[in-house]
Amino acid sequence: MSKLNETDIQGFVLRGYNLPLARYIFLHFEDPTRARGLVSRLLHEVTTGQRWDGGKPESTVNIAFTHRGLSAMDLPDATLLSFPVEFQQGMKKRAGILGDTGLNSPERWDDLWREDRVHAWLGVNAVSPETLESRCAKMLGLLQQGDGATVLSSQDAASVVIDGKPTTREHFGFTDGFGNPDYLGVDRSSQPGQGKLMPNGTWAPLATGELLLGYADEAGELPVAPVPHLLASNGTFMVYRKLHQNLATFRAYLHDHAGLYGGGPEKLAAKFLGRWRDGTPLELSPDQPDPSIAQDPNRSTNFTYGADPAGTRCPIGAHIRRVHPRDAFGFNGRLINRRRITRRGLPYGRFVAEGQPASDAEDRGVIFMALNASISRQFEFVQQQWIEYGNDAHLGNDKDILMGNHGGRGRFVLQGDASPANPPLICSSLPNFVELRGGDYFFLPSITALGMISMGLVDPR
């Protein structure tokens, strides 16, 4: 496995920038030639995966397109038709498959996502508000120059700031961002527990083709990709979902059920997620949070569920055990290696500390962005089978307690043991703690592919 050509891959794919501020700008193309001209101008701005030997940049820019957007730039039909079906359809048409019904159904989404007009996502990350504003102003200048695109809307997102410091917490108070996998060839400070489980119990990087098009995946095949190869290679697909968090409902539910639960409210919250709010995995420390584990890269993701088949430490239906089951399904974890996703994204909306009044109506949540080589095999499978259904985990019809589209029904079984501090509990009449407000599927091309698109050189023959 040779090293990847990092200068040809968008930086957003290879690394979480860990920059505290972001603005996602959504574009509509009016004219193919003008749109391609815009891509050409943006090409000089796009942040690549090149190592930051000279220090971290103060801001970054990345770009991705919906299928509609690629069509609006007049890519050849033979190319457009060669994209995977789910990408051609877009996320709205996949609502039935994804369980995006009821409270999460497209008719309840933000106007932006109901209207089928989004052609491109322009993601700007920055270290400070001033840097964000100045980089965005520069981008808007480029957009206006030559009428390349109309800005439909933009979405601000930012790390939650606590005591003046940006954190990796989300609005429910959990520490986020532990679970991203390692991939072969991707230069990243890796830690045990983030790739795939090997028969000897160690962890190894996943095949590059689980993330990037043009490389062998875990089945030893090249992922399904559009033609020509050069358009697809070093690119990936991105799922964008705006997930509204019903903070008041979450806190009230936790409070009400903590009264029934002998382990206390913090432990109950930890059982929902599988980690204490500071990030300590329940599997490694079932009785209390332990910062020495949560902050140690050699331990914070380094665990399996094999010694806890009954879920008395980490419940079988806990969020992290559902979406990354590790060894929980047996066969040394092999059943899950083709179902992994890389998550990017940040919270949006005002953070409200515990004890302060909060309302569900306030605009607050997480911008969830997942990168994967196959949206249907990876993201959609996880969403359909592991979030919105329970069969693989032997949980029948139960859904993920935090992410599930419960609509007031459903249940979460918290396995326990005979000790008073770790009793079992059944949570029922589950509200939607999280509601979908829209999103779509995007293609994040390589730098070469952006060049081909901008110059009208995409040739499927």
Partner 1 sequence: MPNKNGKVYGLTILSPIIDDDQATPSHDLQIREYLATMPTGEQSPFALAPGTHLARLVVMDDVIYVGMPACEEHLKSKYLVFETNCDSDLEGYMSGLAASVPEQLNAIWSHCVGYPGAADQKAFIGYMKACQIETTFFFAAINDKSVPETLRALQTQRAVTDFVANHQGMEPAQLQREFAQFVTELKSEPLLKAASMGPHRDIKTGGRNE
The three-state (H, E, C) secondary structure of the chain, written as one string: CCCCCHHHCEHHHHCCCCCCEEEEEEEECCCHHHHHHHHHHHCCCCCECCCCCCCCCCEEEEEEECHHHHHHCCCCHHHHCCCCHHHHHCCHHHHHHHCCCHHHCHHHCCHHHHCCCCCEEEEEEECCHHHHHHHHHHHHHHHHHHHCCEEEEEEEEECCEECCEECCECCCCCECCCCCCCECCCCCCCCCCCCEECCCCCEECECHHHCCCCCCCCCCCCCCCCCCHHHHCCCEEEEEEEEEECHHHHHHHHHHHHCCCCCCHHHHHHHHHCECCCCCECCCCCCCCCHHHHCCCCCCCCCCCCCCCCCCCCCCCCHHHHHCCCCCCCHHHHHHCCCCCEEECCEECCCCCCCCCCCCCCCCEEEEEEEECCHHHHHHHHHHHHHCCCHHHCCCCCCCCCCCCCCCCCEEEECCCCCCCCCCEEEECCCCCEEEEEEEEEEECCHHHHHHHHHCCCCCC
Nearer to partner 1, 414 or 450 (CB): 414
For residue 260, the minimal CB distance to partner 1 (Å) is 5
CA distance 53 to 77: 41
Nearer to partner 1, 427 or 444 (CB): 427
For residue 91, the minimal CB distance to partner 1 (Å) is 14
For residue 123, the minimal CB distance to partner 1 (Å) is 27
For residue 399, the minimal CB distance to partner 1 (Å) is 9
Residues lying near partner 1 in the complex (CB under 8 A): 85-86, 96-97, 101, 259-260, 376-377, 380-381, 384-385, 389, 391, 396-397, 411, 413, 424-428
Nearer to partner 1, 198 or 260 (CB): 260
Nearer to partner 1, 305 or 389 (CB): 389
For residue 441, the minimal CB distance to partner 1 (Å) is 14
For residue 461, the minimal CB distance to partner 1 (Å) is 24
For residue 154, the minimal CB distance to partner 1 (Å) is 32
Nearer to partner 1, 270 or 395 (CB): 395
**Tokens (6 digits) for 303:** 């665990």
CA distance 15 to 155: 21
Nearer to partner 1, 97 or 284 (CB): 97
For residue 145, the minimal CB distance to partner 1 (Å) is 42
Nearer to partner 1, 57 or 423 (CB): 423
Nearer to partner 1, 225 or 413 (CB): 413
For residue 309, the minimal CB distance to partner 1 (Å) is 17
Nearer to partner 1, 96 or 408 (CB): 96
- CB count in 10 Å sphere of residue 337: 19
